Structure 1
Amino acid sequence: MSLHPVVDRVTDRIVERSRTLRTDYLERMDAARQGAPARARLSCGNLAHGFAAAGEDKLRLRGGPAPNIGIVTSYNDMLSAHQPLEPYPSLIRSAARAAGGTAQVAGGVPAMCDGVTQGRAGMELSLFSRDTIALATAVSLSHDMYDAALLLGVCDKIVPGLFIGALSFGHLPVIFVPPGPMTSGLPNKEKAAVRQRYATGQATREELLDAEAGSYHGPGVCTFYGTANSNQVLMEVMGLHMPGTSFINPGTALRDALTVAAAEQVLRITALGDDYRPMARTVDEKSIVNAMVGLAATGGSTNHAIHLVAMARAAGVLINWDDLDELSRVTPLLARIYPNGAADVNHFHAAGGVGFVIRELIDTGLLHPDIQCVHGGDLRQQTLEPYLDDLTLRWREPPAQTLDPGVLRPASDAFDQEGGLRRLQGNLGRAVAKISAVESQRRAIKAPARVFDSQDALLEAFRAGQLTDDFVAVVRGQGPKANGMPELHQLTPALGVMQDRGQRVALLTDGRMSGASGKVLAAIHVTPEALSGGAIGRVREGDIIEIDADAGTMQAHVDETEWNARTVETGDLSRYTHGMGRELFALMRAQAGDAEAGACSLFPEESARPHDAALALAAGVTA
């Protein structure tokens, strides 16, 4: 199958736009390559420090030619997604020894959970935990003892942070190793119903806690299709996992066999062997395009409209929301996973899973099959499904047909002929909308603005019975520079209740929504944010706001002279500066780029900004 012309065009555009930055990056990574074990360049004192506590691996580390794996782990035992990673280093060390190499834990990275911090001050550290993880990954690998790396992590900011940090060591081969999802518990739709009942006072806190505990009930990743599980699909379509690794449950023999396989494989692809596959080459313009297509085809998390930009930038690749929008519009929606449907990721995996999706997208010309995957083959091999033949790990073809058409469909019978994400623009600036879970008749709205400076203020108005008409909720002062761009997921039950009782409602914000949010139309990540002079700060109570996700537009219907004369209001931001460690992140807030530049504090905002005219319009400047 030939490549789809839109995929071809967008890829060429990204290659051209990134040429200078990408060339510089690759030259730096090529210069870092060493033909001997990395530790051979260390002085005797340096090296002695590096193997002093290595036990039986001392002799190999001291003088042998064996490759050494650096393990970077997000393990902690408070969070279900990270707790299963505890035994991984021992398993990897044993596998490395059996294969003639060694492995050491290079370091740990913080792993916070948005599910725990939702609506709390700690959520304001969430986005910048990604940049902190990137820095921690770089510190971990900076000892220069390693010839390859295994990155253990899965959730929202952890995979993007590991990814960004590891690309600074792009001369090393890198494989991502996840723990897998917890087994299915209380269905997500039932949990969401209890949340909405609680929001209206019809369910007690004990009933709500029972529902939440029935859903989040054991070790492993949350089973809805939010950012954590979107991460896993992206790693698969980029060829950075062993095939079919994403959705194997923790604590199983197959899960352990895949972790062992990753250790064995990363030893085969170091610069010391004949099949060198450094991360700088496995991550390129084509694999980044694959990630955008895979996200659209599965109705993945809007958080990746931010993360993917920063991840690509770390590899010297420049992408923007126009690229994402153009690809999404030609990508069929192949999966219905909560919040885009009733099923969870275990049901998705059982129906055919990621391998089925990748095969369908390759066969319709929507993915680049010729990327350099970590497993040694191309992307076609990534479609294979792992299984155990007695105790031997083997791979087989995915199902020829979907095993559950309510969850997974072929491209010829897709749920929708377009993917789940949209770029919006107009005199309010630029934004992103996720439409895969929004009913078609709810994808456009024209209604008065109700303006709030926080999600708490909106919820107070809801509880006081002040929100009974149609409206667009404008929640400003929530961008990366203002308060770290927290998710505003607590708004989902209240907005859902109002929509269900017949109101037409939508959200417009310079903040984020959770990857688990869905059925209410939301124009999010509005850029420029209010603190940067963005037009969202000019909106006043009662202004008529129009959002049309299908057309890709958002507009404040205000007389142009009046609009341009208005001052930008952000609300009181002082509440966000101290407490729960927020004072330590002031530098990151100050350095953060806008949402379309990845909201990243680690890189300067770079060249490809096709939205300059839109930003000028939003600022009241005639382009």
Structure 2
Amino acid sequence: MTTDSRIEDITARIAARSKPHRDAYLDKIARAADDGPRRAHLSCSGQAHAYAGAGPDQDRLAKGRAPNLGIVTAYNDMLSAHAPFATYPELIKRVARDMGATAQVAGGVPAMCDGVTQGEIGMEMSLFSRDVIAMAAAVALSHNTFDAALYLGVCDKIVPGLVIAAASFGHIPAVFLPAGPMASGISNDEKAETRKRFATGDATREELMASEMAAYHGPGTCTFYGTANTNQMLMEFMGLHLPGASFVPPEGDLRTALTAEGTRRALAIAPQGEAGFTPAAHVLSEKAFVNGLVGLMATGGSTNLVLHLPAMARAAGIILTLEDFAEISAIVPLMARVYPNGLADVNHFHAAGGLGYMIGNLLDEGLLHADATTIAGDLTAYAADPKLDGDRVRWEPAPRDSLNDKILRPASDPFQKTGGLQQLSGNLGQGVIKISAVAEDNQLIEAPARVFHDQDSVKAAFKAGELTGDIVFVVRFQGPRANGMPELHGLTPVLSVLQSRGQKVALVTDGRMSGASGKVPAAIHVAPEAADGGPIARIRDGEMVRLDARAGTLQVLGDDALSGPVAQVDLSPNRDGLGRELFETFRRAASPATSGASSIMTE
């Protein structure tokens, strides 16, 4: 298959920019591979410690000839997406044992839910949990007793954190095992309408609670196309899942068979395996990250990945910039309409042809690197659907035609000719906007600024009836160094209500917006952030702000624009309470949003 020359050029530029970092990374990985995760390197006492809890596998581990899989799990039973992982370790161990190998739970990593912490103090630790997860996974694997690793994780920060760890331990193979989406509940539009009615006082809390419980009602990932499901897409486009594994429901024989097959694949690509040694470092290549960016644009995925992908790539010695996102967005068409970009959820998307159809179509169009190394060989293996064959999995070619063109279309007849994300730049700095769900007449907003320093103040102004006319809401001091860069999802009902009243509204912030945001234009991740004295700290109430998503510009208008003093805000209330005091080092070390807002993946 021939790759589009524009995709080749972008990949070449990324590789050239990254070469010193990538060369150093691959050299480090080669040294680690030479040292090997061989258990025999441990002293007899060390090995005895490592095997003491392994029950029937102790003897096989002590002989040290068969592969040993390390399981890193984000299991907890508070989060619906991770609850299914409770049964995975025993299944993995049983399958490994049947293959003459072994598996051990290397360790657990935390998994928090942005849906639970929206508008709460915990959200200020959410983004940095990605770095904690990466470090926790590194601790789990640091015993150096594993020949390959299985990563059990799904949601917003968990998968990016696990990928950073997989890159750091890139000398061993990495296979990611998903859990799948929950069954569809009430429609997303119905849920959103109840939220708007509650914001205006037209719905009771009891009605709101009933609506939310009808939407989030069982095990599995939330079914809208937010960050969690964007992560699952990404793992498939980047070749870290088995083909077609992302959106198979958690309850059922096919999901069990896929988990078993993932275990067998990890054993097959381990150093002792029969399929050829495939360390994670070889999968996490420049081509894989470009394929991930293509998937992000083609599906209209979450803006949070604009933070996560640079951090993940940096862990593998690859430097991604906002320009890479913008260039790929300009080339790749939007092929899917999944809520919040449409009425369908991921179950409907999967039934319409899903990722197998999309990858096959994008390969045909030359918009993906077909020869990228994956855990299944190369990317052509992913234009396929898994089917149950007894208790095993076989793969069939994915549909060549969409089964519902209101949800899924070919690249030759897309919903939009360009992807769902746009880079913004101007005298306010750099940022991004998700435009796949923004109506065309709302993609250009020019209105006076109304400046706030937290989302609660916006809500208070709304309740007081102060928010009249066209407004660009500037919500600043929400960046990683200010307060950990929480999502401002709590603003969505307020902004949606104002927009539905006919007002032209937009949001400009150095914080994040939910991966499920969409219809209200939002310039997010603005950098430099206010806490670093960025231009956003100089905006004054009433100054005219122009947000032009089509042109990719974000600026304050007027001869004396941004001539005011840098705003000074007391950030001490963000420094302690509910564990925030433990994250002061993370806030101080955080890199700009443009390079991933990470405290560990910095230059």
Structure 1 and Structure 2 fold alike (TM over 0.5): yes
1:92 and 1:259 in contact (8 A); partners too: yes
Deviates more, 1:68-77 or 1:407-416: 407-416
Identical aligned residues as a percent:
57
Q: Deviations over 1:204-250 (max 9, x none)?
A: 00000000000000000000000000001110011110110000101
- Superposed CA RMSD: 1.0
Amino acid aligned to 2:562: W
Deviates more, 1:421-430 or 1:4-13: 4-13
Distance (whole Å) between structure 2 residues aligned to residue 369 and residue 567 of structure 1: 52
Determine whether 1:404 maps to 2:404: yes
Q: How far did residue 40 of structure 1 move?
A: 1.4
| 1:374-453 map, 5 Å | 374-375=375-376, 377-453=377-453
User: Could you tell me which residue of structure 2 aligns to residue 204 of structure 1?
Assistant: 204
Distance (whole Å) between structure 2 residues aligned to residue 15 and residue 47 of structure 1: 41
2:293 and 2:328 in contact (8 A); partners too: yes
| 1:80-229 map, 5 Å | 80-229=80-229
Q: How far did residue 382 of structure 1 move?
A: 1.1
Determine whether 1:230 maps to 2:230: yes
Q: Deviations over 1:117-157 (max 9, x none)?
A: 00000000000000000000000000111000000000000
How many equivalent pairs are there?
Answer: 602
| 1:219-618 map, 5 Å | 219-273=219-273, 275-375=276-376, 377-560=377-560, 563-564=562-563, 566-605=564-603
Amino acid aligned to 1:604: T
Partner of 1:86: helix, strand, or coil? helix
1:296 and 1:328 in contact (8 A); partners too: yes
Distance (whole Å) between structure 2 residues aligned to residue 226 and residue 121 of structure 1: 21
Distance (whole Å) between structure 1 residues aligned to residue 28 and residue 441 of structure 2: 51
Amino acid aligned to 1:279: A
Distance (whole Å) between structure 2 residues aligned to residue 502 and residue 543 of structure 1: 21
Q: Deviations over 1:475-502 (max 9, x none)?
A: 0000000000000000001100100110
User: Could you tell me which residue of structure 1 aligns to residue 3 of structure 2?
Assistant: 3
2:261 and 2:392 in contact (8 A); partners too: no
Amino acid aligned to 2:463: R
CA pair 428-254 structure 1, distance change in 2 beyond 3 A: same
Partner of 1:289: helix, strand, or coil? helix
Q: Deviations over 1:85-106 (max 9, x none)?
A: 0000000000101111100000
Q: Deviations over 1:389-425 (max 9, x none)?
A: 2333111111121111111111111101000000000
Distance (whole Å) between structure 1 residues aligned to residue 596 and residue 49 of structure 2: 38
Amino acid aligned to 1:602: I
Partner of 1:125: helix, strand, or coil? helix
Q: Deviations over 1:33-84 (max 9, x none)?
A: 1487621111111111000111110111001300000000000011111111
1:530 and 1:570 in contact (8 A); partners too: no
Deviates more, 1:165-174 or 1:478-487: 165-174
Q: Deviations over 1:360-401 (max 9, x none)?
A: 1111111101011102x2101112100112333111111121
Amino acid aligned to 1:563: L
2:67 and 2:147 in contact (8 A); partners too: yes
Amino acid aligned to 1:475: V
Amino acid aligned to 1:22: R
Distance (whole Å) between structure 2 residues aligned to residue 412 and residue 458 of structure 1: 43
Q: How far did residue 194 of structure 1 move?
A: 0.4
Distance (whole Å) between structure 2 residues aligned to residue 547 and residue 570 of structure 1: 25
TM superposition score normalised by structure 1: 0.95
Q: How far did residue 570 of structure 1 move?
A: 4.7
Distance (whole Å) between structure 1 residues aligned to residue 568 and residue 293 of structure 2: 32
Partner of 2:431: helix, strand, or coil? strand
Q: Deviations over 1:485-543 (max 9, x none)?
A: 00000000110010011000000000000001110000000000001111000000000
Amino acid aligned to 1:535: P
TM superposition score normalised by structure 2: 0.99
1:282 and 1:374 in contact (8 A); partners too: yes
1:386 and 1:393 in contact (8 A); partners too: yes
Partner of 1:319: helix, strand, or coil? coil
Distance (whole Å) between structure 1 residues aligned to residue 437 and residue 3 of structure 2: 28
Distance (whole Å) between structure 2 residues aligned to residue 283 and residue 411 of structure 1: 26
User: Could you tell me which residue of structure 1 aligns to residue 39 of structure 2?
Assistant: 39
Q: List, as ranges, runs of 4+ consecutive aligned residues in structure 1 with deviation greater than 6 Å.
A: none
Note the residue ranges of structure 1 that are not aligned, 5 or more in a row. Answer: 606-623
Deviates more, 1:67-76 or 1:393-402: 393-402
Distance (whole Å) between structure 1 residues aligned to residue 453 and residue 570 of structure 2: 8
Distance (whole Å) between structure 2 residues aligned to residue 315 and residue 54 of structure 1: 32
Partner of 1:519: helix, strand, or coil? coil
User: Could you tell me which residue of structure 2 aligns to residue 63 of structure 1?
Assistant: 63
Distance (whole Å) between structure 2 residues aligned to residue 202 and residue 594 of structure 1: 41
